[in-house]
Amino acid sequence: MNGDSVDIDLARAWVQAIAAAVDQHKDHLTQLDSAIGDADHGVNMHRGFSAVTTALDGLEPDTVGALLVKAGTTLISSVGGASGPLYGGAFRAIGRTLDTSKATPQEFAHALAAGLDSIQRLGAAAPGDKTMIDAYTPALAAFQQQADAGADLATAALAAADSAEDGLRATAPLQARKGRASYLGARSIGHQDPGAASTALVFRALAETAAAAETAATR
């Protein structure tokens, strides 16, 4: 794990950092979902990533992809809400493109794009529908732009995390057109989307993991 690339250790540390962030922000995610949903997003994410942590414990995969596919499969089988299959499918799609022990930022950008594609194929949401897509799309664009410009992983992931949080904030004035929140119609306006909030955590966890790996490598 040196911060230049996504290797198996970094992928594992990323997933663990997501689990820790979900644990820390569980109540906040549920609060957001109580405003425009059914108040279970924090619980769903927590159940899912706790199961992922357990599933990865002692697992020694040969590739980054195998680890992330395992994470995705575990999310699908452990989370009941809409977010389980959406995130689970995304992690599986990300993993399926990473049949390697070490992915460059460019390769990882390609993998993240496959993840977004999976969410859109399953959930049929477009940008602006007030879903996790509204955090993921700008995060991916920022990551891709940095990777194309030759940035290292930590720099690309930091740009992605900042853009995901911008995307999250921008969901507040939107009216939900997909998922449970869409049942509220105009009453969904004025609240941040819970799934966009958890997606922001996913990208912030990546940025922090990559930064920590880089610092460790230069010490």
Closest CA to 56 of 20, 16, 18: 16
Sign of CA dihedral 127, 131, 138, 163: positive
Which one, 12 or 130, has the nearer CB to ligand ADP?
130
Alpha carbon of residue 79 to chain centroid: 15
Nearer to ligand ADP, 103 or 201 (CB): 201
Q: Which is nearer to Mg ion, 44 or 144 (CB)?
A: 44
Q: How many residues does the chain have?
A: 219
Q: How far is the CB of 209 from ligand ADP (least distance, A)?
A: 23
Distance CA 155, CA 133 (A): 22
By CB under 6 A, name the one of 26, 47, 92, 178 that touches ligand ADP.
Answer: 178
Count of C-beta atoms within a 10 Å radius of residue 216: 11
Positions in 66-125 near ligand ADP (CB under 6 A): 81-83, 86, 119, 123-125
| Contact residue for Mg ion among 37, 84, 105, 195 (CB under 5 A) | 37
Q: What is the nearest approach in angstroms of ligand ADP to the Cβ of residue 160?
A: 17
Task: Give, rounded to a whole angstrom, the gap between the first and last alpha carbons of the chain.
Answer: 13
- Contacting residues toward ligand ADP, per CB under 6 A: 33, 37-38, 40-41, 44, 81-83, 86, 119, 123-125, 131-133, 178-180, 193-196
